[in-house]
Structure 1
Amino acid sequence: MPGNRKSGLLALGGIALAAVLAVLGHLDVNEDLNPWSLTVSDFAVSDRGGVIDAAMVLLAAATLVLLPALRRAGAQRPARALLAAWAAGLLAAAVVPTNEPGTALGTAAYLHRYASVVAFLALPAAGWLLAGPLGGRVAGRLRTLALTGLLLAGAMLWSAYPGDRMLLGLAERLLILAEVALLAVVAAAVARRADPRPPGIDLKHTSTPTVVLSGSTAAR
Structure 2
Amino acid sequence: MERDTAAGRDTVGRGFALAGLAGSGIAVVLVLGLTLTVGRVDPIRRTISEYGLLAGVKPVFDTGVLAFAAAVMCALVALVRAGLVRAVSGASAGLVLAASGLGAVVMFEKTNWAVGPSVGGTIHRYASLVAFLALPIAAILLARRHRRAAGTGPEPRPGARHAAWSRWLAVASLLWFAPILVGFAQRPFTGVSWWRAVPLGLVERGLALTEVLVVVALALWGLAAARRTSVAPPSPEAVGDSRSAREMSRD
Q: Which residue of 2 aligns with 1:95?
A: 107
Per the TM alignment, residue 102 of structure 1 is displaced from its structure 2 partner at its CA by 4.3
Q: Which residue of 2 aligns with 1:179?
A: 211
Structure 2 CA distance for partners of 1:170 and 1:101, relative to 1, 3 Å: farther
Deviations 1:5-48 (A, max 9, x none): 2211111011111111112222342x232110000001222246
Q: For 1:136 and 1:94, locate their aligned partners in 2 and report how far apart those are by CA, in whole Å.
A: 35
Unaligned runs of 5+ in 2: 2-10, 148-158, 188-192, 245-251
Structure 2 CA distance for partners of 1:157 and 1:178, relative to 1, 3 Å: same
Structure 2 CA distance for partners of 1:191 and 1:86, relative to 1, 3 Å: same
Structure 2 CA distance for partners of 1:177 and 1:202, relative to 1, 3 Å: same
Q: For 1:55 and 1:130, locate their aligned partners in 2 and report how far apart those are by CA, in whole Å.
A: 25
Q: Which residue of 1 aligns with 2:156?
A: none
- The 8 Å contact of residues 76 and 92 in structure 2, kept in 1 or not, is answered as yes
SS of structure 1 residue aligned to 2:40: coil
Q: Which residue of 2 aligns with 1:74?
A: 84
- The 8 Å contact of residues 94 and 134 in structure 2, kept in 1 or not, is answered as yes
Deviations 1:175-207 (A, max 9, x none): 111111111000011111136999x87459822
Match of 2:24 among 15, 18, 26: 15
Matched, 1:164 2:195: yes
Unaligned runs of 5+ in 1: 212-220
Equivalences for 1:24-43 in 2 at 5 Å? 24-29=33-38, 31-43=39-51
Q: For 2:170 and 2:42, locate their aligned partners in 1 and report how far apart those are by CA, in whole Å.
A: 27
Structure 2 CA distance for partners of 1:204 and 1:74, relative to 1, 3 Å: farther
TM-score, normalised relative to structure 1: 0.83
Q: Which residue of 2 aligns with 1:110?
A: 122
Q: For 2:114 and 2:182, locate their aligned partners in 1 and report how far apart those are by CA, in whole Å.
A: 20
Per the TM alignment, residue 74 of structure 1 is displaced from its structure 2 partner at its CA by 3.1
Q: Which AA in structure 1 matches 2:169?
A: L
Give the share of equivalent positions with the same residue, in percent.
Answer: 32
Q: For 2:61 and 2:234, locate their aligned partners in 1 and report how far apart those are by CA, in whole Å.
A: 49
Structure 2 CA distance for partners of 1:27 and 1:71, relative to 1, 3 Å: same
- The 8 Å contact of residues 156 and 172 in structure 1, kept in 2 or not, is answered as no
SS of structure 1 residue aligned to 2:29: helix
Q: For 1:81 and 1:111, locate their aligned partners in 2 and report how far apart those are by CA, in whole Å.
A: 20
CA RMSD of aligned residues (A): 2.8
- The 8 Å contact of residues 159 and 168 in structure 1, kept in 2 or not, is answered as no
Structure 2 CA distance for partners of 1:21 and 1:89, relative to 1, 3 Å: same
Match of 2:224 among 192, 196, 216: 192
Q: For 1:204 and 1:9, locate their aligned partners in 2 and report how far apart those are by CA, in whole Å.
A: 37
Q: Bigger CA drift: 15-24 or 78-87?
A: 15-24
Q: Which residue of 2 aligns with 1:217?
A: none
Per the TM alignment, residue 139 of structure 1 is displaced from its structure 2 partner at its CA by 2.1
* Structure 1 ranges of 4+ moved more than 4 A: 157-162, 195-198, 208-211
**Between Structure 1 and Structure 2, how many residues are aligned?**
209
Q: Which residue of 2 aligns with 1:123?
A: 135
- The 8 Å contact of residues 35 and 169 in structure 1, kept in 2 or not, is answered as yes
Matched, 1:143 2:167: yes
Q: Which AA in structure 1 matches 2:84?
A: G
Per the TM alignment, residue 63 of structure 1 is displaced from its structure 2 partner at its CA by 1.4
Q: Which residue of 2 aligns with 1:218?
A: none
